[in-house]
A = this chain, B = another copy of it.
Amino acid sequence: MENKSRDIAVVLASGGMDSLVITAIANEDYQLALLHIKYGQRTEKRELKSFNDIADYYKVKKRLIVSIDHLKKIGGSSLTDKSIEIPEGDLTRRCIPSTYVPFRNAHLLCIAVSWAEVISAKKIFIGATEQDSSGYPDCRERFYREFNRLIKEGTKPETDIEVITPLIKLTKGQIVKKGMELNVPFQLSWSCYKDEYLACGRCDSCLLRLKGFKEAGIKDPIKYRL
């Protein structure tokens, strides 16, 4: 709900389950400003649809959709380079998988900070999780602590913006439970790295999502190929 007297929070909304849950969390206390970034990932059309569906559901007027092509141009990730295959999901893997997009979350946060500074938002919500993650370095709590220091040094003295990571310590099961408490429309979200029609059910992102629903004891309402 829009409420002019509330502070504004920019929410980084990919269209995935985690960003859906943080949208609902931010919606409790802030006026929402939803930011979606297309960076050349394979499923960007499907993610944009989820973003808009979620923004419609929460009746959000402040939306910013940004398209960047430099991460794709720079390459180095199977998420943005179709010549590198998306690896089969493996939640026991110890190395950083090829889906890692170099320094990606820093790019996303920079865009959020610039927008937040212009629209005088006080908070930036991002659905990063350290616990049940693919081990990306830019998903760790320490990274966000540093980023908050950087914002203080790199913005105007009167600017006061803080990055908030409400899910950082939660398991995927706890994230699904949190979403259930807040009645989020899980059916509108999309997580699969690989496909845009039926979720593959096999990439890391699908495996993590399915693990969450299993742990929370409910059925994921989206459809899977397997």
- A-to-B contact residues, CB < 8 Å: 64, 66-71, 73-76, 96, 100-107, 110-111, 113-115, 117-118, 137-138, 140, 142-143, 146-147, 149-151, 153-157
Contact A74 B142 (CB under 8 A): no
Pick from A73, A100, A102, A147 the residue with the most CB of B within 10 Å. A102
Contact B70 A155 (CB under 8 A): no
Identical subunits present:
2
Considering the chains assembled together, what is the distance between the CA atoms of A199 and B142 in angstroms? 45
Q: In the complex, what residue of chain B is closest to A73 when comparing beta carbons?
A: B66
In the complex with contacts A146-B149, A153-B142, A102-B73 CB distance below 8 A: no
Looking at the assembled complex, report how far the CB atom of A141 sits from the nearest CB atom of chain B, in whole angstroms: 10
Contact B68 A70 (CB under 8 A): yes
Contact A117 B76 (CB under 8 A): yes
Q: In the complex, what residue of chain B is closest to A68 when comparing beta carbons?
A: B68
